[in-house]
């Protein structure tokens, strides 16, 4: 962990016994300042998976420059590539590194092997690189290999012991697929497979004791493939829809991502671990597929990813975990052209090897943090000839959140004013943010009555809703 630079002010030169110590101090201060600079514009809940099953990837330093042009603040590696970890040093971008499934038996059997692995792949890069999590294995519990699954917890424990003194901030976890759930629909009935629970309880107890997250890979894309109806697609792509009602919790879910994550939350709660945090280690949508791969298209990939990014930025959280976004790693940074299987397996990349975007997912930083000038609006309380589009009374936050996600995501409207620091961010409520966003789409799309419908959750008003420094786009 990089220490805040102000903490160094309490020391004097007399506290250091050599020039080497002073040099180390200066390096730490520089890395801390760089980290603070990066975190001022990055978003701590948006990460990306960086797979390397490819022969056409750009060099690590070019990738790091690309990442720093975005709001991505976290990278998940499937191994511990030294070139990438070193390239990320001092950027403030945190790294999840992975232990290969094949290394689990030796790490489980021998604490000395775990110490050697930790020294070579974690401690060697600290404090310059910000390594946040070591993910032991990938999708082990659903691999069908019961022998490997039984060695997972001992490997995690040995690595934790190896790092607990020298790098206590580095967490140890493992990544799971949604296949560890026996039940997920409706979300309130989320439950783990009964045959996994004996071993899983040991892992969950370890995660709870060490403050480490439960890492899961929910993919609304696969949910749509199993139920390819238009209403399911809208539900998966954060587009306006009627929602899916959970009769047990009385929650009307407006998107599949929230439903899947809350099913995991319900399973953890039911197993006795309500305080264990959830991290989405992978989620994404392919932009291309074979003829039989329904739903794999650029338009759908853009709608899903931009909708998800907007949903995370809204700070709404999920219905069972409101008010904070779930830390989420998008899959994936680049295509991996050497992966076997159908075309979709090689078509999740957000960026191409030439560093251009496959589609605009809303991840690039704005060239300016200033809010763009809004179209002229009548003074507060006066009447406008064309009016403004606002939510109807009595509309639920779930419906308004779906509208908000659609406008700022798939519709690609400018929602910077309602993001943190924007002129219309406060009050920080779903209704206030949705009102601004819905009006932006109405004004931008031609001010036709059908542009202010949102499945009958919106209405036109002739009273200007602008307030204080927040100016709603509109006409005199």
Give the residue numbers annotated as catalytic, written as ranges.
Answer: 139, 282
Written as six digits, the tokens of 164 are 């607990």
Token representation of residue 78: 């499937």
**Strand, helix or coil for residue 11:** coil
Question: Is residue 63 within 8 Å of residue 84, measured between CB atoms?
Answer: yes
Q: Distance between CA 445 and CA 456 in Å, rounded?
A: 17
Quote the Cα angle for 273-279-284, to 5°: 140
CA atoms within 13 A on the CB side of 11: 14
* Pairing assessment for the beta strands 328-330 and 383-391 based on DSSP bridges: unpaired
Q: How far apart are CA 10 and CA 7, in angstroms?
A: 6
**For residue 271, what is the enclosing H or E element?**
none
CA–CA distances in Å: residue 419 to residues 309, 335, 412 = 12, 30, 14
Phi, psi values for residue 7, rounded to 5°: -65, -25
> Interhelix angle for 146-163 vs 111-121, to 10°?
60
Whole-number Cα distances in Å, 308 to 261, 277, 424, 426 = 13, 19, 21, 22
Instruction: Report the distance separating Cα 401 and Cα 414, nearest Å.
Output: 16
Joined together, the tokens standing for residue 425 give 């961010």
Q: 181 has which bridge partners?
A: 192
- 267 sits in which H/E element: helix 256-270
Q: Is the dihedral of CA 405, 309, 444, 388 positive or negative?
A: positive
What does the block give as tokens for 180? 């560890």
Count of other CB atoms within 10 angstroms of residue 12:
7
């Amino acid at each position: 962990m990089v220490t805040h630079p102000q903490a160094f002010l309490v020391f004097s030169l007399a506290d250091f016994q050599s020039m080497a110590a002073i040099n180390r101090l200066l390096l730490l201060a520089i890395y801390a300042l760089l980290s603070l600079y990066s975190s001022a514009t990055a978003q701590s809940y948006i990460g990306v998976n960086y797979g390397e099953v490819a022969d056409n990837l750009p060099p690590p330093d070019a990738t790091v420059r690309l990442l720093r042009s975005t709001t991505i603040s976290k990278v998940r590696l499937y191994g511990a590539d030294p070139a990438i970890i070193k390239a990320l040093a001092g950027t403030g971008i945190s790294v999840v590194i992975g232990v290969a499934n094949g290394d689990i038996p030796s790490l489980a059997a021998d604490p000395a092997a775990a110490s050697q692995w930790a020294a070579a792949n974690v401690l060697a890069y600290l404090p310059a690189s910000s390594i946040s999590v070591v993910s032991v294995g990938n999708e082990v519990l659903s691999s069908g290999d019961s022998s490997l699954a039984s060695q997972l917890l001992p490997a995690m424990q040995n690595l934790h012991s190896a790092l607990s003194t020298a790098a206590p901030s580095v967490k140890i976890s493992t990544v799971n697929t949604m296949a560890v759930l026996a039940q997920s629909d409706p979300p309130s009935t989320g439950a783990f497979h009964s045959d996994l629970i004996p071993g899983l309880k040991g892992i969950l107890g370890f995660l709870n004791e060490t403050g480490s997250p439960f890492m899961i890979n929910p993919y609304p894309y696969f949910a749509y493939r199993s139920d390819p109806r238009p209403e399911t697609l809208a539900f998966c792509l954060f587009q306006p829809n009627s929602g899916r009602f959970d009769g047990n919790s009385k929650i009307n879910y407006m998107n599949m991502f929230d439903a899947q994550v809350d099913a995991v939350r319900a399973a953890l709660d039911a197993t006795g671990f309500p305080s264990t945090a959830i991290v989405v280690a992978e989620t994404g949508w392919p932009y291309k597929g074979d003829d039989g791969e329904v739903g794999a298209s650029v338009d759908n990939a853009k709608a899903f990813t931009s909708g998800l990014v907007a949903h995370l930025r809204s700070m709404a959280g999920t219905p069972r975990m409101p008010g904070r976004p779930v830390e989420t790693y998008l899959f994936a940074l680049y295509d991996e052209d050497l992966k076997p299987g159908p075309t979709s397996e090689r078509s999740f990349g957000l960026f191409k090897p030439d560093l251009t975007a496959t589609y605009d997912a809303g991840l690039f930083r704005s060239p300016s943090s200033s809010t763009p000038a809004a179209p002229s609006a009548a003074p507060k309380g006066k009447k406008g000839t064309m009016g403004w589009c606002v939510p109807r009374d009595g509309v639920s936050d779930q419906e308004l959140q779906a509208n908000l996600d659609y406008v700022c995501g798939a519709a690609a409207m400018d929602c910077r004013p309602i993001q943190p620091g924007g002129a219309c961010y406060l009050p920080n409520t779903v209704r206030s943010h949705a009102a601004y966003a819905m009006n932006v789409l109405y004004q931008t799309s031609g001010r036709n009555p059908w542009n202010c419908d949102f499945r009958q959750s919106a209405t036109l008003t002739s009273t200007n809703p602008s307030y204080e420094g927040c100016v709603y786009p509109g006409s005199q």
